[in-house]
Amino acid sequence: MKKFTWVALAAALFLGVIVSPFASSWLDGLERVAQAKGFLGRGEGEPLVSSPVPDYAFPGVRGERLATALAGGLGTALTFAVAFALAATLRKRRN
Amino acid sequence: MHIPDGFLDAKTFVALDVVGAGFVAVAAARARRALSERAVPLMAVLAAFIFASQMLNFPVAGGTSGHFAGGALAAIILGPWAATLVMTLVLVIQALVFGDGGVLALGANVFNMAVVTPFVGYGLYRLIRRLWRNEAGRFVASFAAAWLAVVAAASTCAVELAISGTIPLAVVLPAMTVVHAVIGVGEGLITALALGALRATRPDLLELAPGGGAR
């Protein structure tokens, strides 16, 4: 892969691993509206599919920031890999 | 703005799952025909960047945060259909691996963030660029496109909540629009700065979108 791809992937990993533990944990726009208008609780039932890394915290890791950093690293790398494979497959299957 | 399961009723999420799947199928068919070789690593990098950025909530007002969404940025660089694929992939990973956004509500989230944001953002960007061709126009077009994309997606989300009977439209539409009009300022700035940085380092990558791309 070209240099640009590696540099850009490294930048994304920097955001996902190093910066993400310091992100704001306040409610996002939709959650805030849901809380203010009284329907936030509707989204808090048992999830239909239990996700392996719920709420961007790597399970079994004690430190909150480390758990977030690991989740961010996993998610960023996984997204890159799946997107690459998907785009390459779509291109290969033309005609 | 990821809708969790429980916010939408069955008729609404089923309809949006069908609509979302339809858009993704068309996007995949178009990508198969039109995807250039150079677009493959760029799509992967954009997907990774958007995933990571969506973890970075910034405070916007007391107790409220927002994060970059990326649909307009991806659409300006890749064209709206390829952006639909990139955004959908991010949403699928968020829903299945991280429990962010409901699994039943995935179609709604795809519609709002992988269809509405790319198409609104791309449309407004091209419109402003046609009218305003200099450097300043580029910044304004990127900023405005990203801002409107987020506000439009928030409004669609509000309409979906109202159709579901979760909350009256007159209550939820202004609330969602106002909060995201503020969050959208961050979206606009990040989009304009990211496009500026890409133009400064790799201007050739901005020619990939169909019809001349982000010129």
* DSSP string over B76-94: HHH-HHHHHHHHHHHHHHH
Tell me whether residue A91 is in a domain.
yes
Total number of domains in chain A: 1
Tell me whether residue A7 is in a domain.
yes
If pLDDT is split at 50, 70 and 90, which confidence band does A1 have?
low
**Mean predicted confidence (pLDDT) in B176-188:** 97
Determine contact: A47 vs chain B, CB below 8 A. Answer: yes
| Residue pairs between chains A and B whose CB atoms are closer than 8 Å | 207
Tell me whether residue A78 is in a domain.
yes
If pLDDT is split at 50, 70 and 90, which confidence band does A45 have?
confident
Q: Which domain holds residue A7?
A: 1-23+64-95
* Assembly ipTM: 0.95
Chain B: nearest CA to A59, how far in angstroms?
Answer: 11
Report whether B85 contacts B27 (CB < 8 A).
yes
Chain A: nearest CA to B215, how far in angstroms?
Answer: 20
Report whether B2 contacts B108 (CB < 8 A).
no
What is the percentage of chain B residues whose pLDDT exceeds 70? 97
Tell me whether residue A34 is in a domain.
no
Tell me whether residue A46 is in a domain.
no
Which B positions 109-148 lie with beta carbon below 8 A of chain A?
Answer: none
Residue among B196, B198, B160, B140 nearest A8 (CA): B198
**Backbone conformation region of residue B99, classed left if phi is above 0, alpha if psi is from -120 to 50, else beta:** left
pLDDT at A34 (0 to 100): 97
pLDDT at B212 (0 to 100): 55
Contacts of B22 (CB under 8 A, 6+ apart): none
Report whether B176 contacts B155 (CB < 8 A).
yes
Tell me whether residue A53 is in a domain.
no
Q: CB atoms < 10 A from the CB of B199, how many?
A: 15
Domain architecture of chain B: domains with CATH: 10-212 (1.10.1760.20)
* For helices B80-98 and B10-34, angle between their N-to-C axes, nearest 10 degrees: 130
Q: pLDDT, tens digit, for every residue of B116-163?
A: 999 999 999 999 999 998 888 999 999 999 999 999 999 999 999 999
Q: pLDDT, tens digit, for every residue of B28-49?
A: 999 888 888 889 999 999 999 9
Q: pLDDT, tens digit, for every residue of B52-90?
A: 999 999 999 878 999 999 999 999 999 999 999 999 999
C-alpha span between A61 and B190 (Å, rounded): 32
C-alpha span between B37 and B34 (Å, rounded): 10
**Chain A residues with CB-CB distance to B51 below 8 A:** 12, 16, 75-76, 79
Tell me whether residue A54 is in a domain.
no
